[in-house]
């Protein structure tokens, strides 16, 4: 086998390795927490907090109502007991019970408002909870796919690296050095020759270069410098 052909094979292995390693890096960046999941999880936590806060408010207003009701009962008992005869005192007591009733109505309205908010927030929590479950399931299956793909790629990369070692060992180290230098400069070090044209730079090659390449010697394109490989 000509050195050019060996180098071309090495290049094919290297190119595949490069692309597999790039794919591996991309997968690695996609593994881990999903931003969409985190966002919905945070929203859900906020709504749940709000629900707890509303429940606390409701309890507190209800306690206030209980307190007022008990005061009102005492005041009304007093008012209708017949024990108080002083008109001024009676009028004061009447005034007090009216005030308590008004306050109680106000608080009862407040409870209704809170209950409305509780209803809305409960719906929000349920919607976010199901959205989160859906997203998490989707994310999980995506992660599983990615992990499986990653394992495949790792196996391929390891096979390719082995091939790379074998091919490299067969080639003169100085030639390998030239190959790596060209690869760094041009992206690819070896160019196929098709119909007398270097596929690396699409220049028609002089007949003498073609003849030398055909004879098996290592020839570099006079235009782009790549090592020429005649298939």
**Residue numbers at the binding site for Zn ion (CB under 5 A):** 198, 200-201, 221, 223-224
Smallest separation, CB 193 to Zn ion (Å): 9
Q: Which residue, among 216, 180, 210, 208, has the nearest Cα to 198 in the 3D structure?
A: 210
- The DSSP symbol for 206 reads P
Smallest separation, CB 147 to Zn ion (Å): 42
The smaller minimum CB distance to Zn ion, of residues 196 and 216, is found at 196
Q: Is residue 60 packed enough to be buried (19+ CB in 10 Å), middle (13-18) or exposed (0-12)?
A: exposed
Q: Which residues fall within 8 angstroms of residue 44, CB to CB, at 6 or more apart?
A: 125, 128, 129, 132
Smallest separation, CB 19 to Zn ion (Å): 23
Tokens read off for 167: 């091919």
> Would you give the distance in Å from CA 43 to the centre of its chain?
16
Smallest separation, CB 138 to Zn ion (Å): 48
Smallest separation, CB 152 to Zn ion (Å): 35
The smaller minimum CB distance to Zn ion, of residues 221 and 230, is found at 221
Q: Which residues fall within 8 angstroms of residue 182, CB to CB, at 6 or more apart?
A: 188, 189, 190, 225, 226, 227
The smaller minimum CB distance to Zn ion, of residues 122 and 211, is found at 211
Tell me the residue length of the chain: 231
Smallest separation, CB 182 to Zn ion (Å): 11
Report how far residue 205's alpha carbon sits from residue 119's, in angstroms, rounded to the nearest whole number. Answer: 80
Degrees, nearest 5: CA angle 166-171-173: 110
């Amino acid at each position: 086998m000509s050195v050019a052909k060996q180098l071309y094979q090495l290049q094919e292995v290297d190119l595949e390795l490069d692309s597999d390693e790039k794919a591996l890096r991309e997968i690695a960046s996609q593994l881990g927490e999903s931003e969409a999941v985190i966002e919905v999880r945070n929203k859900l936590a906020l709504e749940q907090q709000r629900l707890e806060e509303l429940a606390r408010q409701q309890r507190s207003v209800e306690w206030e109502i209980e307190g007022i009701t008990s005061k009102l009962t005492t005041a009304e008992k007093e008012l209708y007991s017949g024990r108080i005869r002083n008109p001024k005192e009676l009028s004061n007591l009447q005034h007090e019970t009216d005030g308590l009733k008004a306050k109680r109505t106000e608080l009862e309205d407040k409870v209704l408002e809170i209950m409305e908010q509780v209803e809305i927030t409960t719906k929000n929590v349920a919607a976010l909870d199901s959205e989160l479950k859906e997203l998490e399931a989707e994310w999980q299956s995506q992660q599983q796919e990615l992990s499986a793909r990653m394992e495949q790629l790792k196996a391929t990369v390891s096979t390719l690296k082995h091939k790379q070692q074998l091919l490299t060992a067969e080639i003169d180290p100085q030639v390998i050095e030239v190959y790596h230098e060209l690869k760094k400069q041009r992206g690819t070090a070896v160019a196929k020759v098709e119909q007398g044209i270097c596929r690396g730079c699409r220049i028609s090659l002089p007949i003498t270069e073609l003849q030398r390449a055909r004879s098996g010697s290592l020839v570099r394109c006079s235009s782009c410098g790549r090592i020429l490989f005649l298939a």
